[in-house]
């Protein structure tokens, strides 16, 4: 699922981001400490403000760790080695899932 399509705001709070992914805030903070690519902005109070780019990075981490079953070290290596290939493959899979959903909906309307 592409969570970045419906993003309209400039910044999102950690609570909003944790709701998007269905994970705890502490897991997002932990991933931030583990993955150097994930660096959200912080305001003067220290509150994290996630941009669309941060959410795309988090989406990639979530995909590798939660959906594909990578360990954190494995996900780090995969991101370093094949980031562009992973992103392209995810876009293709997401497009195919949307097409399939549309076809199933069309089939259901015809029956």
Residue that is written with structure tokens 């999102």 in the block: 12
| CA angle, 8 then 20 then 11, to 5° | 40
- On whether the CB atoms of residues 53 and 46 are closer than 8 A, the answer is no
Write down all domains in the chain, each with its CATH number in brackets: 14-81 (1.10.1660.10)
- On whether the CB atoms of residues 94 and 1 are closer than 8 A, the answer is yes
Note the pLDDT tens digit of each residue in 43-52: 899 899 999 9
Q: How far apart (Å, rounded) are the C-alpha atoms in residues 32 and 53?
A: 14
Note the pLDDT tens digit of each residue in 35-70: 988 899 998 998 999 999 899 889 989 999 999 999
Angle between helices 25-34 and 52-62 (to 10 degrees): 90
């Amino acid at each position: 699922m592409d969570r970045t399509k419906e993003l309209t705001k400039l910044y999102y709070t950690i609570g909003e981001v944790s709701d998007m992914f269905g994970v705890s805030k502490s897991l997002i903070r932990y991933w931030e400490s583990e993955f150097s690519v994930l660096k959200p902005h912080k305001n003067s109070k220290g509150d994290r403000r996630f941009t669309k780019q941060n959410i795309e990075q988090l989406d990639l981490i979530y995909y590798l760790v939660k959906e594909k079953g990578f360990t954190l070290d494995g996900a780090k290596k995969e991101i370093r080695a094949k980031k562009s290939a992973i992103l392209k493959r995810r876009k293709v899979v997401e497009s195919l899932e949307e097409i399939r959903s549309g076809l199933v909906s069309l089939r259901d309307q015809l029956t």
